[in-house]
Chains A and B, each alone.
Chain A
Amino acid sequence: MQNRSFMARLMAAPHVVWSILFIVAPMLFVFYYAFTDSQGNFTMSNISELASPSYLTIFARSGAFALVATAICLLIAYPLAYAISRANPKRQKIYIMLIMLPMWMNFLIRTYSIMAIIEDTGFVNNILGYFGIEPIHMINTDGAVIFGMVYNYLPYMVLPIHTVLSKLDNRLLEAAADLGCTPVQTFFKVVMPHSRSGIISGITMVFVPSVSTFYISQKLGGSSFDLIGDTIERQFQTAYNYNLGAAMSLVLMIIILVSMAIMNRYSDDEGSVVV
């Protein structure tokens, strides 16, 4: 009997070995490269270089863009998820399918397609020109990058919020109304608290890819400004300064860990990830 349960536990072994080799070891290498120079000697210079104003601006900009994009996603997604969750089940299924369908398009193509639409000589400006309206400059602006983030990651916000809202019992809303809540009060006292875990997992699922993106900013922001992702990508693919790149990744990882820790303080015990 004892022997059998040992055998069963052994089933986890290949996965554990795999995790140590390809999850833990790579993480250690990030630390190793972040604190060494190109000769492999210990140094703090990579980290201290990141404290320079130019890098601090990049970190601040990335954080700000991701925060704004996440906030916009939440504002757009919440009413949408709510509206979908109140539709009849058959309808809901179709809506959810429609939300997920664009995610099946490669996001590079979607982003490129946005670029083709909002370019100075792009689709929108051609149509405006047809009506005799002066072209609007949209590409290579902060707004374009944030739009790209919102567009690409909106489904990640809608889906978890919809999951929790669709489980919300309609009778609770009726009870709240019967007990004298105005619709606004019902929303803040019943609906919101119920959907907290969905909101939190939505926020993490939008914030993490937004703060670390490089393709969206390359395509929609032009070369006018850098985000963390752009800078890391350059260290590894063109500048070949792995040590600085590793240091930046380390800082990025810490930013995300800290923001997740803050988020988890607001979530109830169960609601860390709802998909």
Chain B
Amino acid sequence: MKVLETLGLSWRSIAGHKLRSGLTMLGIVIGIAAVIAFVTLGASLQAGIIGDISPDDQRSLYGWAADPDVEAGPGAGGQPIFSQSDLDAVGELEDVEAAYGYAPLQAQTVSSGNETVPQGDGVVASGPSYIGNDNLEAGEQFEMGETQAVLNPAAAGQFEDEVAVGDTITLTLLGGQEIETEVVGITETSEGLSPFEGFESSPRIYVPTDPYYTEQIAGLGAGAGQGDGPSQNGGTNQSGVPGANDSGQSPNASDGGEPSNASVAGQPTNASDAEQPTNASDAGLPVITSNAERYGAASHTDTGGLQTRTLSMQDGANGDSSAESVRFTAIVVEAESSDDAAIEAARDAATNYLESDESDASEFLGDDLVVSLETSTELLQQVQDILNLLQSFIVGIAAISLLVGSIGIANIMLVSVTERTREIGIMKAVGAQNRDVLGLFLMESVILGLVGAVLGTALGFATGYLGAWYIDLPLVYPLEYVALAIVVGVLVGIVSGLYPAWRAARTDPIDALRYE
């Protein structure tokens, strides 16, 4: 008996019991749909994140210095130890294309024309090549030392008259400094450009570290801030008293010479009352832990009233707000190319330099503070690990659903065999071999499993896409899972149908024909 003939006969039995067959498939449908939906969502999420790693970004190493025991994500626990001269020196290294600092700025508002919108965070100071050319929708990268900015579409679209390349906006920093800024570029996506930012969509303004980052520090130090803006940290008192930094006191001095603690919890000093954003916890990288720290710091400053933190100045230079004394918490080191070898070379060269005595950063480094330089891809591995864990969990639940589903198929097939004993008898009387009967029933359970798997795949994709669409992720088609789902469906059908089919095949035709 040919497979196609078997298929036709089996299909007819299934179609003869639509409701029963449908309910039987449900377990398989749910199991497969759960896996496919999650895999689709996971793959979309992954693509949404990895899609943000532009080719330029793939050669970037994101660096920070933290306690090696801190394992909380990119930049967590980072300390402001990298000086501009360190970055310049690293940039000069043979295997390094460029090196620049990265710092989220604390701002208040941004204005375009007569319109002013609040822009608390999302102002990122960095080097020009932080914005890769292929990330630009229009315009060009900003230049170091210029009051220029690149906006993402979300930031540009905040205004009724959408900001375009060539417009001038006014950026009001936390300290109160108002900086006339020329918009030189608009990025393609509103999602973050590096793991430091996080990858969610939000309005972001990219500016060069010089002058913005230095200006912010200088501004605070110079008392330019009027304290009239909304507080970034939940009620931090910031009256803009001059000399925020000229306590002349390095935090390591205030806490007993332990530099790694300098800004972790925000050492209170009585000499300054201005919020100092360069602290690790404040200049905080947009990762979960930095929020926690931020709130911790906020409540700390609340209780402390006028107390706040000071900038960690390696040399304790009083009121020195020049670029030389600026310390970065986070840095970006670009390798010559995105080859693994080039990235390794850049990583080794930069690490070696930063750990050597030549660098300013080296004096803080030690067992408690080590430099990490990682690519986006490596950093994303953590996200990936979480996804994988969740995936195993879902697959486990789906496996239970599939098990229940296959028991359901086995059960209904046994009922079906009993119910059709007489038909089996007829077929055997007219010359059906045992293997013909076996094939018919096995085919039936395989069809149940297969159709269940196909329906489950469709349902899973629909659910996954709906989810991906809802949270605005790119749609990804993990097509290999269709094949996998079909194989699983067939296997479930075979496993659960084997015993009932065997029972059917060995039915004695004499008894079967007598069966009422």
Instruction: Indicate, yes or no, whether A interacts with B.
Output: no
Which residue numbers of B lie inside 8 Å of A, CB to CB?
A: none
Which residue numbers of A lie inside 8 Å of B, CB to CB?
A: none
